[in-house]
Amino acid sequence: MSEPIIGIDLGTTNSEVAVVRDGKPHVFEEGGDPILPSFVGLAEDGKLLVGHAARNQWVVAPERTVKSIKRKMGQDVKVKLGDQEYRPQEISAMILRALKERASAQLGQAVKKAVITVPADFNDDQRNATREAGELAGLEVVRILNEPTAASLTYDPKSSELQRILVYDLGGGTFDVSIVQAQEGVIEVLSSHGDTQLGGDDFDELLFKHVVLQFQTQHGIDLGANVYARARLLRAVEAAKRQLSFHAFIRLEEEFIAEKDGQALHLQMEITRLEYEELIQPLLTRTMDCVQRALEDAKLLPAALDKVVLVGGSTRTPLVSRLLEERLGQAAHQEVNPDLCVAMGAGIQAALIEGQDVGAVLVDITPHSLGIRCLDYMHGIDFPFRFAPIIRRNTALPGSRSEMFSTVHDNQKEVEIEVYQGENDDVRFNHRIGNFRITGLANVAAGNQLVVQCDLNLDGILKVSAKEKATGLKKDVTIENALAHFEGSEIAGARERLDRLWDQSTTAEEGDFDEIDDEEEMDDEQPYPNEFASEVPVLVPGPREGQRETVQARALLEKAERLLEKVAPEDKIELERMLNAVRHAVTDRQWENVTKACNELSDILFYLEDA
Ligand code: ADP
Ligand code: MG
C-alpha cells in the first residue's frame, strides 16, 4: 500500500476506523476492542482522555467530559472542557486523531487521508464541520460519505442489478432510516428520516428508572440521588441491556450499592427481555413511523424493497427486527456486525478510491432459523405445533440465544423439547433435527418457567439446553449437523404428507402412519409420532404470569406519580398509600392483589383528575 486511505465512522456514541486488506474490510482494534467511545475528557491531572477512559468518568465528572459532540457539529457554539472552551470540530478532531494514530500504528506507516461518514441528513454546515475536524486532525478528507451508503456497500459493493435497500440505523443517541438505490456501484439516497434524540441512551435511562423504582419499593432508597450509585447503576443497566439481546432474562447484581441504617445494601434483581422490551416499545414504535415516512418520500411500497439492513448497536435488541419484519414483510439483515458496518463501508469506499478490488463482506450465517415446538394458545384455541424460533436465519456464527418458555399444566413434571430447522410457523412444515425430554420439574402451578438456549458454532454443531429457572435443573442435547440444508422436495413431501394426514386424521389409526411415511426422512424415528392425539408435554412461549398486570400497574404508577405533586396534602397521603399498595403487590407477585390495588388507585385518580 503506497498511500493508505482509512475509512472512519465518526459516531455520536462510538467511532471506528477500517481499511480493506486482501479484499476484505478490517476494523482496527485496540486492546481487543474495535470501538472507540466518542467521549473526550480531561483527567484530574489535566491529561487528555479519548475513548473508554473519558466515557468512564463522564457520569462522575461531567464538567471535565464531552459526550455526543456530533450533535453540535456545524453549530456556532463552544463546549467547555475543564477551563478551556472548544468548537465542536476541535473536539471531533481529538477523536479522529486517536483513530488515525490507531491505524498508523497498526499499518506501520503514516496515514494522511480518510473517508469519513456522516448521517444522510447532515446539511452543508455539518458536512463542512466534519471535513474541518478531519483537517484539524491532520487528515485530508478525500470523501464525506453518507452512513447508509456505507452500510449498503458492505452488503454489496458492486451490484450490477438495481437494488433498493432500506437502512435502519439505531445507535446510542440517534435514529436514522434511509432508503438507498444502488446500481453499478452508484448509490443514491432516495429518502431519509430520523430522530436526533432517540437511541440506546434512552433505553438505558428507561431501564435505569425501572430498576430504581423497584429498589425504592424494596428499600425506600433512591439510587438516582447519589451520583456514584447512579454512575454504577447506569453502567450496569447498559451491560444488562446488551445481554438481554441474547438472553431471555438476566440477573442484575451490584454489591454495596447503598447503605441503610449502617447496613450495606446489595442490588439483586431479575429482568426479563419481555419486561425490557415493554419499556422501550413506545420508542421503537416512533421509529416505525419514520420508516413509514421514508417509504412515502421514496414513493415505494414495502414490497419494492430488495433488502432491509440493520445498523447501529441498538438494533441487536430482537424487538427491532420483529417490528420491522411485521411492518415490511421481510426479514432484516444484520449479519454484518451492526456496530462496525458503517466503518467497514467507509473502509470499502476508501479502497475503491484507491482502486483496490473489493468483495462483499462475507460472514458465516445460519441459513435457517432454529427453534423448538411449542403450544400456542394465544389465539383462543390450543395449537400444539407452533414453531418458536430461537436462533433466527441470517444470524452471524457463532451465535448463542435464549428464550423463555412456560409449562402448560399444574404440576407438569416433564417437558419434551423438539428442535426444528426452518421458517414455517407450523413445525410440521419444518425439519425436525433432534429432541430430548427434561423430567423431574418442580411441583408447581402452570407457568413454571424454563429457559431454552441454543448455541451454534461455526461447524454447525448445535447445543440446545433447557433449564428450569427456579431450580437450575438442566438438560441438553447436541446436534451435529444443524446447518445442513434440507431439500425443497422434502418440504413438498412434508406438505403432501400433512395434507393426507389432515384428510385421515379423524379416522387414522397409528398403523396408517407407516404407509405414508416417506423414505427420505432423516431419523430412524417416525417423523410425527402420535401427534394428532398429542400427549407430548410441550411448553408455551414466554413467561406467562403477571404480564398484563405489571403493564397496567406501571402505567398507573406513572400517572399517579405525576399527580402526586399537584394534589392537596390530605389527598396526597391517601394517594401515597395506594401507590405503595400497588408497588408491594407487584413486588410480591400477587397478581390478584395487583389488579385490586390498581382498581382502587385508578378510581381515586379518576376522582382527583376531575377535581
Ligand atoms: P452511534 O452510531 O450512535 O455512535 P452505535 O451504533 O455504536 O452508536 O450504538 C451504540 C448503542 O448501541 C449504545 O446505546 C449501546 O448500548 C447499544 N448496544 C451495543 N450493543 C448492544 C446490544 N448487544 N444490545 C442492545 N444494545 C446494544
Ligand atoms: Mg452510527
Residue 536 — very low, low, confident or very high, per pLDDT cuts 50/70/90?
Answer: confident
Mean pLDDT of 91-101: 98
Confidence at residue 498, expressed as pLDDT on a 0 to 100 scale? 66
pLDDT of 366 > 90? The answer is no
Indicate if ligand 1 lies below 6 Å from the C-beta of 542. Answer: no
| Weakest mean pLDDT among 17-31, 439-453, 574-588 | 574-588
More confident: 593 or 503: 593
Q: Is the dihedral of CA 83, 89, 95, 96 positive or negative?
A: negative
> What is the C-alpha separation between 296 and 301, in angstroms, rounded?
8
Confidence at residue 519, expressed as pLDDT on a 0 to 100 scale? 39
CA dist 354 → 208, 220, 533 (Å): 46, 62, 66
Residue the block writes with cell 479484499: 23
Residue the block writes with cell 441491556: 241
| Weakest mean pLDDT among 95-109, 411-425, 530-544 | 530-544
Locate the ligand 1 atom nearest the alpha carbon of residue 38 and give its number.
Answer: 4
Residue 529 — very low, low, confident or very high, per pLDDT cuts 50/70/90?
Answer: very low
- Closest C-alpha residue for ligand 1 atom 11: 172
Q: What is the mean pLDDT of the chain?
A: 88
- Closest C-alpha residue for ligand 1 atom 5: 171
Confidence at residue 324, expressed as pLDDT on a 0 to 100 scale? 96
Residue 514 — very low, low, confident or very high, per pLDDT cuts 50/70/90?
Answer: very low
- What does the pLDDT look like over 115-134, one tens digit per residue? 999 999 999 999 999 999 99
More confident: 155 or 485: 155
Q: How far is the CA of 502 from the centre of ligand 2 (A)?
A: 51
Q: How far is the CA of 409 from the centre of ligand 1 (A)?
A: 40
- Closest C-alpha residue for ligand 1 atom 26: 314
- What does the pLDDT look like over 281-301, one tens digit per residue? 999 999 999 999 999 999 999
- What does the pLDDT look like over 176-196, one tens digit per residue? 999 999 988 788 999 999 998
More confident: 473 or 545: 473
CA angle 13, 16, 20 (to 5 degrees): 155
> What is the C-alpha separation between 530 and 466, in angstroms, rounded?
23
> What is the C-alpha separation between 420 and 490, in angstroms, rounded?
14
Cβ contact 66:40 at 8 Å: yes
Q: How far is the CA of 436 from the centre of ligand 2 (A)?
A: 43
The crossing angle, in degrees rounded to 10, of helices 273-297 and 547-564 is 80
- What does the pLDDT look like over 398-418, one tens digit per residue? 999 999 999 888 889 999 999
**Phi, psi at residue 581, to the nearest 5°?**
-60, -45
- Closest C-alpha residue for ligand 1 atom 13: 172
More confident: 249 or 499: 249
Cβ contact 139:113 at 8 Å: yes
Q: Cell numbers at residue 395, please?
A: 444470524
> What is the C-alpha separation between 35 and 92, in angstroms, rounded?
15
Confidence at residue 139, expressed as pLDDT on a 0 to 100 scale? 98
Q: Is the dihedral of CA 271, 275, 280, 285 positive or negative?
A: positive
- Closest C-alpha residue for ligand 1 atom 19: 313
> What is the C-alpha separation between 395 and 368, in angstroms, rounded?
9
Mean pLDDT of 471-480: 95
Start-to-end Cα distance in the chain: 76
* pTM score of the predicted model: 0.80
Q: How far is the CA of 81 from the centre of ligand 2 (A)?
A: 24
Confidence at residue 495, expressed as pLDDT on a 0 to 100 scale? 65
